Amino acid sequence: MSFQCPQCTNLKTLRIINSIELAPDARSDEISLQVLGCRDCGYEGLGVYEESSRGALGSESVDHYGYQADKKTIREIQSEINRCPKPKDARCNCRSHQKLNRRDQSGRWIRPGFKPGQKTYPIKL
């Protein structure tokens, strides 16, 4: 599946290069950390897919967004995903999952390479 690139704004050029499923946190039931890349302009970034079905019946919430990170951080995350024996298994307890699945004091997942006040962008088809 391809999405709109936030840099060149071309449609269907941004793709998910790799991803890892992470354990639920205090807010989301499903979390996927994604490495993103545009085939047209070379943009690289990170994506997050979060889904929550907490609350009233039928109140499912989905959030799919991206953010910029420096190349070193993107490469480190790509390497961690590649080292994981089961990236599609949120219950995997390998070193990569432990490193990428860090939580803050309130139990919320800490996005790697995300800086306070940094903007995100919606991932659009």
Mean pLDDT of the 43-68 span: 87
pLDDT of 101 strictly over 70: yes
Mean pLDDT, range 5-15, rounded to an integer: 96
Cα separation, 14 vs 38, whole angstroms: 4
What are the extents of the domains in the chain? 2-106+117-122
pLDDT value, residue 1: 81
Across 24-42, average pLDDT: 96
CB atoms closer than 10 angstroms to residue 72: 9
Quote the pLDDT of residue 63.
93
- What is the pTM (predicted TM-score) of this model? 0.93
Arithmetic mean of pLDDT, 101-108: 96
Handedness of CA 123, 78, 38, 42 (dihedral sign): positive
Paired tokens of 36:
């993103």
